[in-house]
Structure 1
Amino acid sequence: MATLKTLLNFLKNKPNIKILGTHNTNTIIDEVLFLEDNMEISPNTLYLTTKLPKSLLINKQNILIIVNKASENIPFGQIETKNNIEEVYRLVCEFMFIEYKLYVKKLNIYNSLSAYNDINKTLNICETYLNNPIFILDTSYRIIGRSNLANPITSSIKIYNDQAYLLVDTVNIMKKDKCIDNIYSSSTSFFHFSDKNLIFCGIRVNNITVAYICILQENREFIEEDLELTNTLAQTLSIQMQKDNLFINSSGLEEEYYLMDLLKNSINNLSYIKERLKNIYFKLNKNILLIVIPFRQTYQDYRHNFGLKQLIITTKNIFGNCISAYHEDSIILLISKEDDAVFSENTKTRFTDFLNLNNLKAGISLIFQNILETKEFYKQATYALKLAKHLNIKGFLFCFKDYVEYYLFYILQITDNNIEKIELCTLIDPLINKLIDIDKSNNSVLLQTLVIYLESNRNAKLTSEKLNIHSSTFFYRYHKIEELLKISLSNSDILFKFELSLKILRYQK
C-alpha cells in the first residue's frame, strides 16, 4: 500500500517541487481529493488545497497545501511549486497508479504460496514481472530453484548427481567482491554490478539466512521496482521453505549444508568437494572421524535453542578443524586431522568431561581417509550408540572399533530388509589400511608378515619358516609394525580386531 512517505519521496524527485512542513509519513493513502470547506476528513485520504481552510482548527497531517512560497507559520505539509494544483493532482494520481500496479504484482507473488505451493512456480510468476532469470541457492551454493529463463543457463554451474552447484571460481569471485558478506548482512535486496549485473537478496528464517535469491540482468535492464518485488519474493519463499522443510534451520550454520551433502552422497567428485570445503575454511586432512551426539531440541527455532547452540560451539572448540550439523535429533561432527591420532588422549579427556557434564553420549566412527564414504561412517557412529545400549554398556563415549563384531552379530539377527547396513569394506581396521598403504609406498611385505604370524597362531619360529626368512628378519618386521602402527602385537584385543579385518579382506578378494 502507498504511504505518505513514499508519495513525498516520489514528488521530491520531480522538477520544481519542494516538500516542507509537518506531516505523518506513515499515513497510508487510499485516495486523493481536493479539499473543500466543511468536508469530513478521512484518515486514509490525501487532501490537496491551495489555501488553509479556516474551519480546520486542528493539525490534519494528511493535508498538503500547494503554495508558491512555503511559510513556517502554516502547521500543515506544504508543496512549494510553480505548478498548479491540477498538475500536482495528476502527479499524485500517477504515483497512486504505479503503487497500485506494484501492489497487484506483490499480491500475485504472495498468492502463489497458496495457489501452487511450489517454489519454481512462484519464481515463474515473479519472472513475468522482472523479465530476467531467477535462481535460488542455499548457503552452500547449491541451486535449489530456477525460473523458466534460468533453466537454460549453464555457465558458472556444475552438475553432480543431478544437483546443480556454482563453480568454485564463481564463489571465490563473489567472496572477493564482498558480495557474500552483503547477502548475510543486508535484510533487503540490493544491486550488485561487476562483470555481470545482478540482484541479490537473502532469504531469512528467524533472522538466519538459509538461502538467497540471485537475479541475472539478461533480458532487460534493472529498475528500482525490481528490488521491491525481490523483497516480496524473498518473504514469500521464506514461508514456502518453512512449509516444505527445504532448508536446514536446525543449527543456523552455513557449514551444515556442506556436511549434509556428504551425509546424503549428493556429490561424488572428490576434487569438487575439496574445493567447496575451502569456502568455509575447513581443511581436509589425511584422517577423518565422524561423531554423533544424540540431542533433542527444546525449540524448533534454532535462534531460541540456546542449549543446542552452546553445545555445538563448545564441541567445535574442543576439536578445532571441524564442521557440524544437526540431523535426525543428533549433533554431527566431522573432524579432520593430519595426525593418525585424530582423537588425542587430551582431546578424549576434554570431550568425555564435556559429555559427562551435559549428560550426553557420543558414538564415534572408525578413522577413514575417503570423505566420499562419510555416509557409511555416520552409520558406524550411530550403530556404536545403538549396540552399546543393546549390550547395556555404561559410559559416555562409544567407539565403533569396539563393536565391529557385535555389529555383525546384530545384522545376522535382523530380519528387516529395510535396515541400513554398513559397507563391509569400511569395517576394516584403519591400522590395517595404513599397513597396506605403507607396503605400497615402500614395496614392503609387512602385511603379509602379519597375516602369516596370525595364521601361525602367533608363533615366531613357524612364521619365519613359512616366510622362508631368518628369525631376526621376522622380529625386525614385527617391531617395525609395532613402531609404525604405535601398538603392541602382544595385545590380544588388537590382534583379534586385526584378524577380523584380515578375514574381511580375504572374503572380499
Structure 2
Amino acid sequence: MSATFNEISAKLSSKNPLVIMAKNINISNYYYIENDFDNLNSYSLYICKLSNFPKDFSPDKIINLLIIVDVDNECDLFKLKNCNILMLEQNKISLYRLLEDLQAVINVKANIIASSNNIISAISKNGSIDTLIDIIYEYLKNPIIMTNAANYLCACNTGDSKINDSIWENYIINNYPDPNYLDKIYYDIKFLQSISKENNPHIIDYLDIMDHRILLCPIKINNLDMAYLYILESNKPFNRDDIKLVNTLKKLLAPAIINDPRFSYCNNCQLDSIFYYLLSSYNVKPYFLEKTCEILNLDLHSNFFLININFIDKDTTSSDLKNLYDLIKSLFYNQLVFIYEKQICVLYITQDKKYPNNSKIESEHFLDLCKRYKLVVGISDIFFNLHNTKLAYEQTLKAIDFSNDSDSKKPIFYYSDFMLTNLVYSFLTNKNTNNIVDLNFIEFLNSASEEYVQTLKAFINNNGNIKKAADELHIHYNTLKYRLNKINALYGMDLDNLNYIIRLKLSYIALDFISNT
C-alpha cells in the first residue's frame, strides 16, 4: 500500500494546504505523533500539531510531515531541508475526517493491488474475459461493458440492480450500440487520441441521450486500439480512485485478449462497427442498420459484392493487419474497406448487376500484394441489400474453403465458380449420395481407360462444348465426337442431353469430395 506525496496533496487540495516539497516519494503508512520525533522514516507520513513540533528539528533524510496549525507559526518551516510538508489550519479540518481521507488515498493502492492479484490469478487459470470483468465490477461497483475495437459487446457485468439507462439496456440486449451513441463515442475516441498520446481513462457525458456519465478506457496492444472498457456512473459517483484502478487494470487485461479472435485491430470508425455487427449477428435489427446508414450516408440498396482477404498464415500480428489494411484501402480507394476479426473485407459497389471488369480486382499490383503477404481471396455473388452482407460473407468463406481443392494458382476465388460444388456439398452432408451420383458414371470410371476418362472430364468441364474440349485435349473435333459416341454406346450415357451433362458434372464433384474425405 502506497501513495505519492503529490497524490496525498491532491487528495487534500479542498482543504487548501500549504505545500512544501523536497522530493515526491511513495508513502505507505501514516502516524499521529505528539512528542516522539526520533527514529522517523521516509516512507511514512507523520501527523502532528504545530504546538508540538520541535524547533530544532533537522533530519538527515526525507521526512513527510502533515502539520496542523493550532498556534501562531513561530517556526520557519521553509528553512527545513529534506522535508515534505503539508500545513493545514486546525479550524478548517476535523482530525477524524482527515485520518479517513488519508486512509482512503492510501487504501486505493490496496484495492489496486488486491484486484490486480485477483486478475493475475484468474489469467493464470485461463479465466474468461467475463470472469475478469466480474472481478473488476467487485471493485468499481458500477456497470461495466467491454467491447472490441468495433464497439461490438464482448462482455459485461451490470450487477443486481437495474441500469435505468435505455441506451445501455439495448446495447446489452443487441450487442450493438444505438447509432447516435456510437456516433458520439467515435467522435470522442478520435478527439481524445488527438490531444493525448496516453490511453488514460476519460469521463465523458452524453446527457442529451443518456442518464449517466461514462468512464471510457481504451485498451491498446502495440499502440493499436484493440478493446474498450466502459463504466456507467449509475450506482455511485466516479472518483479519482476509480480512474487509477481502471488505468492499472487495463494493462492486465491486454494479454488476455491477444489470442481472442473477437479482439482484433480495426480502424476505429463506424464503418467497421456496422459491418462487424452485420457479420456477427444472426438477427439484424432494421433500426440499427437503417439509422447507421443514414448517419454514414451509406446506401442500403445498391449492387454490392464482398471481397474477403485472408492471411494464409493464421499467426498474423495486428501490426501486419494494419499495414495490409492501409495498402488495401489505397488500392480500393473508392470502395468501403473494413476489418472483421483478422480479415480485411471490401464492400465493392458497382453500377452493373454483374461483376465489373475484373482488371482492378485481379490487377498485377493486387496479385503481387497477395503473393507478398501470402493472401487468399474469396469473392461473393452480387447482392442488392446490406441486410444480406452476412450471406455474402459466408459465400466468400466457402469460395476460400473450396479453393483448397482447386488447381488454380491464382489466389482469388469466386463463389460463382463453386456454386455446383456447394450444392453437392449440401447433398453429401445430408448423406444423399445416391441422389446425386449417376450409377452409369461409376461403372464408367471403374472400367474405362484413362484416355476415355480424361476425354469425358474435359467434355463435362466445358459444359458440353465439343470444340473447347477438343482444343483443351489437343485432339481433332471428329476424334472427340467418336469417343463420345463410343462412351454413349458402351455405358448408356446420353451426352446430347444438357441436363444429363450437368448431372455428370455434379457426380464428378461429389466423387472428388468423397475421395478427399
* TM-score over 0.5 (shorter chain): yes
The answer as to 2:393 corresponding to 1:378 is yes
For residue 287 of structure 1, the aligned residue among 294, 299, 303 is 303
- Return the offset for 1:198: 0.4
For residue 83 of structure 2, the aligned residue among 73, 77, 82 is 77
Residues 4-23 of structure 1 aligned to structure 2 (within 5 Å): 4-15=5-16, 17-22=17-22
Aligned to 1:325, what secondary structure does the other structure show? strand
- Return the offset for 1:155: 2.0
Residue deviations 1:238-265 (CA, integer Å, cap 9, x gap): 566558x374225565554543433334
The answer as to 2:330 corresponding to 1:314 is no
8 Å contact kept, 2:378–2:396: yes
- Return the offset for 1:19: 0.6
The answer as to 2:416 corresponding to 1:401 is yes
Residue deviations 1:113-142 (CA, integer Å, cap 9, x gap): 446946667666666666654444445454
Distance 1:401 1:12, change over 3 A: closer
Query: RMSD of the alignment, in Å?
Result: 4.6
The answer as to 2:182 corresponding to 1:171 is yes
What corresponds to 1:335 in structure 2?
Answer: 348
Give the distance between the partners of 1:216 and 1:51, measured in 2 at CA: 50
8 Å contact kept, 1:132–1:219: yes
Give the distance between the partners of 1:90 and 1:138, measured in 2 at CA: 45
Letter in 2 for 1:381: T
Distance 1:267 1:33, change over 3 A: same
Distance 1:236 1:286, change over 3 A: same
- Return the offset for 1:354: 3.2
What corresponds to 2:453 in structure 1?
Answer: none
Give the distance between the partners of 2:206 and 2:403, measured in 1 at CA: 57
Letter in 1 for 2:213: L
Letter in 2 for 1:60: I
Residue deviations 1:376-421 (CA, integer Å, cap 9, x gap): 3333323334444423122233223233334445655x5587xxxx
- Return the offset for 1:18: 0.5
Give the distance between the partners of 2:371 and 2:316, measured in 1 at CA: 25
- Return the offset for 1:290: 1.9
Residues 205-244 of structure 1 aligned to structure 2 (within 5 Å): 205-206=220-221, 207-231=223-247, 234=250, 238=254, 241=257
Letter in 1 for 2:335: N
The answer as to 2:167 corresponding to 1:156 is yes
What corresponds to 1:323 in structure 2?
Answer: 337
What corresponds to 2:101 in structure 1?
Answer: 95
Give the distance between the partners of 2:298 and 2:31, measured in 1 at CA: 59
Give the distance between the partners of 1:159 and 1:46, measured in 2 at CA: 48
8 Å contact kept, 2:64–2:85: no
Consecutive unaligned residues of structure 2, counting only runs of 5 or more, are 432-464, 466-497, 507-517
Aligned to 1:148, what secondary structure does the other structure show? coil
Distance 1:82 1:321, change over 3 A: closer
Percent identity at matched positions?
Answer: 21
8 Å contact kept, 2:218–2:225: yes
What corresponds to 1:264 in structure 2?
Answer: 280
Distance 1:347 1:91, change over 3 A: same
Residue deviations 1:260-294 (CA, integer Å, cap 9, x gap): 43333444334532433566676555122222333
Consecutive unaligned residues of structure 1, counting only runs of 5 or more, are 418-456, 458-495, 505-509
Aligned to 2:27, what secondary structure does the other structure show? coil
Aligned to 2:81, what secondary structure does the other structure show? coil
What corresponds to 1:27 in structure 2?
Answer: 26
Aligned to 2:375, what secondary structure does the other structure show? coil
Distance 1:163 1:108, change over 3 A: farther
Aligned to 1:190, what secondary structure does the other structure show? strand
- Return the offset for 1:309: 1.8
